[in-house]
């Protein structure tokens, strides 16, 4: 009976290895295909709540007139604007926002 269990475990390990390899190969192919990536992104946007897929930023001018951008609102009494952007958006202040030339 011990030999039967060893054969069964060996067979199960082989099948598990085959399944893992198939998952890795299929995942790689899907990841590298832009059509599938776009499809998965659309699906995740529909499934996941906006609090996960979108972020808020707060923008206001300080006392010296410079724009400030933060993930937290400013102190009470300061007017600010709430910006919402997709999680994949790169938020980098530009010259238009900061008044400083890009380097």
Q: What does each of the 103 residues of the chain score in pLDDT, given as a tens digit?
A: 577 888 888 999 999 999 999 999 988 888 788 888 778 777 777 777 766 677 888 999 988 988 888 889 999 999 999 988 877 676 665 666 556 665 5
Find the length of the chain: 103
Owner of token pair 């990841």: 31
Instruction: Look at residue 96 in the predicted model and tell me its pLDDT.
Output: 62
CA distances from 102 to 11, 83, 89, 93 (A): 61, 22, 19, 9
* CA–CA distance, 15 with 102 (Å, rounded to integer): 56
**Whole-prediction pTM value?**
0.43
Instruction: Look at residue 99 in the predicted model and tell me its pLDDT.
Output: 61
Instruction: Look at residue 74 in the predicted model and tell me its pLDDT.
Output: 92
Instruction: Look at residue 95 in the predicted model and tell me its pLDDT.
Output: 63
CA end-to-end span of the chain, whole Å? 74
Instruction: Look at residue 103 in the predicted model and tell me its pLDDT.
Output: 53
């Amino acid at each position: 009976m011990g030999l039967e269990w060893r054969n069964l475990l060996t067979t199960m390990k082989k099948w598990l290895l085959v399944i893992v390899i198939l998952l890795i190969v299929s995942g790689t192919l899907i990841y590298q295909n832009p059509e599938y990536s776009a499809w998965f992104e659309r699906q995740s946007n529909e499934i996941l709540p906006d609090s996960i897929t979108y972020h808020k930023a707060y923008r206001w001018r300080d006392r010296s007139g410079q724009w400030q951008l933060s993930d937290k609102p400013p102190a009470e009494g300061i007017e600010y604007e709430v910006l919402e952007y997709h999680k994949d958006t790169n938020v980098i202040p530009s010259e238009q926002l900061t008044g400083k030339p890009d380097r």
